[in-house]
Structure 1
Amino acid sequence: MELEVRHLRALCAIADSGSLHKAARQLGMSQPSLTTQLRRIEHALGGQLFARERTGCRPTPLGRVVLSRARPLVTEMRALVTETMAAAARATEGPRLRVGSTASRAIPGWLRRLRVRLPGTEISLQMDVSANALLRMVADGQLDVAFVHEVEGSPLRLPETLRRRVLLDREPQFVSLAADHPAAEHPVVSLRDLAADRWMVDPTVDGEWDGLRRVLTSAGLNPPVLHGDYLTAASLVASGEVVTLCQPTSRGRADMAVRPLDGDPLGVRLLAAARTDDELDAVYGELEAAYWEAAQQSPAYAEWLLRAGETRAAATGTLVPASR
């Protein structure tokens, strides 16, 4: 077996994510396929590159040697692909903007504003639960800009080649619960009021499970936690089966309530990233306006902002003390 760039890229993905499952997802392949590929690579090189542990994969001494040589080669190949794709796009296509984002209610308003600001530009959207995957796509030239969230206590791996702009340094995370849940009667919910509930979290979202676990542990709680996507979670929340963390821009429904958590125990940082400042300048104003529009459309978040003594100044797009 001769090693190819794709094999080196797979090794780097496993090392960076610390997990065969996460690496397979980033590479767009199944975990069994990646496991088989890793075994073949290890067989070709004559030694184990990763120690498989209960908590994930850790490079062995041999693995660290291989990775030290593989990373520069992968970086050079990415640069070659990026430059080639950019040159081809300039030669054959009209203007285009490739946007990536983790889930956010600001996306519809952002795209609407971008189409007004950039008439004639082809705008595409790539959604992903992994902020790290989106950032790598920007660095690799597959996306032009990404809007992502960074869970408190779980820093993202921001490629050194990217420029970033922080939209909000700390956005509080709210809780979603059934409308007839006793705690939903209060404007702010204490974790103690949810002690008897089961929680649900999507473990594929970077930092989400670790963040929830820290919050529950700090509160002295150890409830049952189900793993699943948030589309499924919404149905289970409405039926009273689970409660779940949610973004403050989420809107309640007749069968589901959205409430702040007492003390705001978990926050995320919202940021946009691109390869150049010019690319950020071209889209950031529209993103900021779209986010605060979504914030004001969520009654729970709008009330939280007022209680926090902050509101958005329409003329400047900044946060200023609210009038009392």
Structure 2
Amino acid sequence: MDLELRHLKIVRAVADAGSLTRAATALGLAQPALSGQLKRIERALGGELFERGRDGVRATALGELVLERARVLLPALSELQEEAVRFARGGAAGYRLGGTHGPLLGGLVDRIAHQEPGVPVTTYTSWSEREIAQGVAAGRLDFALVGACGESAPPEPGRLAWLEVARDPVHVMLADDHPLARRAEIELAELAAEAWTDVPGDGCFGDCFAAACVRAGFTPACVYETDTASCVHLVQVGRAVGLCRATFPATPGVVARPLAGSPLVWRHLLGWHPAAPAASRAPGVLAHARGAHAEALARSAGGGVSAVREAAVGAATS
């Protein structure tokens, strides 16, 4: 049997998992099938790669040699594949944009289409910032338009170039008949008794929100993590209050208000691979993204906050 790339992946998976059972689960195989494949690999390499024990498996000297080579070869081959994809698609016209939920991706598409009519623009969306970034790193996408909480690092920091599009305080969504809806800003502690709703993500935003609540003196009693439309519905019917970006679009029955002191901050980020052909277009895409942010902010559900603040000031001074 000739050694193949998939055989090295199996050996690495077994070593990383520390047991055949866990490795089989990670690889999506039945344990007997994995054991059979491992035995064939060991025969091809001339000896046992792992010592089996009650506590799992441990690499033999031969296994350590194979693992040492595998940990060099597998990333190198993955990088080769990604570079080949970028090279093969380098001459393709158009923009391949990836983004998470929110109005900026649509605004970016609109601005590019207006500036470069006839140039194809394709989009890919996911709740996972990491998935979008991996698509850019692998050459499947040209640009990632995602977000990061506070000063947290964006995904794939060592492989992609990132620039900040804008930085916004996180707002709270309320039903327009909520007792606090007419306030210019709201203390987080005033919402201690509320249920909350938010969209999923794989960054640290959930942990940062929980920490901000603890600093405000409470622990959220209930957090509904669901899609954007369901979040809006729960807010509209008064079942929960929601967390949103300052660019959240104006929506019937909902207002967005900043939290006093800005306990949570959201950074809009644009990422690209510095070695990709599309990298030369990054300055223009960044300018479009910043323009899309400014337009979204002007149309946002918090657009009436200034008027509310001015009315409150006027009432206090009259």
TM-score using structure 2 length: 0.72
Q: Partners in 1 of 2:140 and 2:180 — Cα distance? A: 45
Contact 1:189/1:262, CA 8 A, preserved across alignment: yes
Contact 1:200/1:233, CA 8 A, preserved across alignment: yes
Alignment partner of 2:216 out of 204, 215, 219: 219
Structure 1 residue 203: Cα displacement: 3.9
Aligned AA (2:199): D
Contact 2:189/2:213, CA 8 A, preserved across alignment: no
Q: What's the counterpart of residue 139 of structure 2?
A: 141
Contact 1:145/1:279, CA 8 A, preserved across alignment: no
Q: What's the counterpart of residue 230 of structure 1?
A: 228
Find the residue that maps to 1:211 and give its secondary structure: helix
Q: Partners in 2 of 1:167 and 1:258 — Cα distance? A: 21
Aligned AA (2:217): G
Please, which runs of 5 or more residues in structure 2 have no aligned partner? Answer: 39-48, 310-318
CA RMSD, 1 decimal: 3.8
Q: Partners in 2 of 1:39 and 1:177 — Cα distance? A: 51
Aligned pair count reads: 274
Deviations along 1:3-52, one digit per CA (max 9) or x if unpaired, are 728957x96xx99xxxx9xxxxxxxxxxx97574496898647589xx9x
Q: What's the counterpart of residue 78 of structure 1?
A: 78
Structure 1 residue 263: Cα displacement: 0.9
Q: Partners in 1 of 2:216 and 2:68 — Cα distance? A: 42
Alignment of 1:58-69 (within 5 A): none
Segment of structure 1 superposing worse, 235-244 or 75-84: 75-84
Alignment partner of 1:207 out of 193, 204, 208: 204
Contact 2:198/2:226, CA 8 A, preserved across alignment: yes
Q: What's the counterpart of residue 190 of structure 1?
A: 187
2:299 aligned with 1:297:
yes
Aligned AA (2:291): A
Alignment partner of 2:261 out of 249, 263, 268: 263
Structure 1 residue 97: Cα displacement: 1.5
Higher gyration radius (CA): 2
Q: Partners in 2 of 1:38 and 1:279 — Cα distance? A: 47
Alignment CA distance shift 1:228-1:104 (3 Å): closer
Q: Partners in 2 of 1:193 and 1:39 — Cα distance? A: 54
User: Alignment identity in percent?
Assistant: 27
Q: Partners in 2 of 1:164 and 1:41 — Cα distance? A: 43
Q: Partners in 1 of 2:218 and 2:154 — Cα distance? A: 27
Q: Partners in 2 of 1:185 and 1:105 — Cα distance? A: 24
Alignment CA distance shift 1:186-1:123 (3 Å): same
Q: What's the counterpart of residue 57 of structure 1?
A: none
Alignment CA distance shift 1:280-1:229 (3 Å): same
Q: What's the counterpart of residue 129 of structure 1?
A: 127
Find the residue that maps to 2:290 and give its secondary structure: helix
Structure 1 residue 105: Cα displacement: 1.2
Q: Partners in 1 of 2:146 and 2:106 — Cα distance? A: 15
Aligned AA (1:209): G
Alignment partner of 2:176 out of 176, 179, 201: 179
Q: What's the counterpart of residue 283 of structure 2?
A: 281
Aligned AA (2:240): V
Q: Partners in 1 of 2:51 and 2:287 — Cα distance? A: 52
